[in-house]
Amino acid sequence: MSRLKEAIGSIPLPDEGVRERALDRLRNQARPTGSLGVLEDVGAKLAAVSGTLDVCLQRKVVVTCAGDHGIVAEGVSLFPQDVTWQMVANFVNGGASINVLAKHAGARVIVADLGVNHDFDPALPICHKKVRRGTANFRREPAMTREQAVTSVEAGIEIVDELVADGGLDLLGTGDMGIGNTSPSTAIIAAFSGLPVAELTGRGTGLGDEALQHKIDVIDAALRERAPNPKDPIDVLAKVGGCEIGGLAGLVIGAAAHGVPVVCDGLISTAGALIAYELAPAVSHYLFASHRSVEVGHRFMHQRLGVEPLLDLRFRLGEGTGAAVAFHLMDAATRVLANIKTFAEVAIADAQD
Contact 264, 273 (CB under 8 A): yes
The C-alpha atoms of residue 140 and residue 147 are separated, in whole angstroms, by 19
Report CA-CA distances (Å) from 90 to 5, 237, 308. 35, 28, 31
Q: Would residue 319 show up in a list of annotated catalytic residues for this protein?
A: yes
The C-alpha atoms of residue 57 and residue 169 are separated, in whole angstroms, by 8
Q: At what angle do helices 182-193 and 209-226 cross, to 10 degrees?
A: 50
Say which amino acid occupies 200.
Answer: L
What burial letters (b/e) apply to 30-57, b meaning 16+ CB within 10 Å? eeeeeebeebbbbbbbbbbbbebbebeb
Contact 321, 99 (CB under 8 A): no
Catalytic residue among 40, 74, 158, 319: 319
Catalytic residues: 319
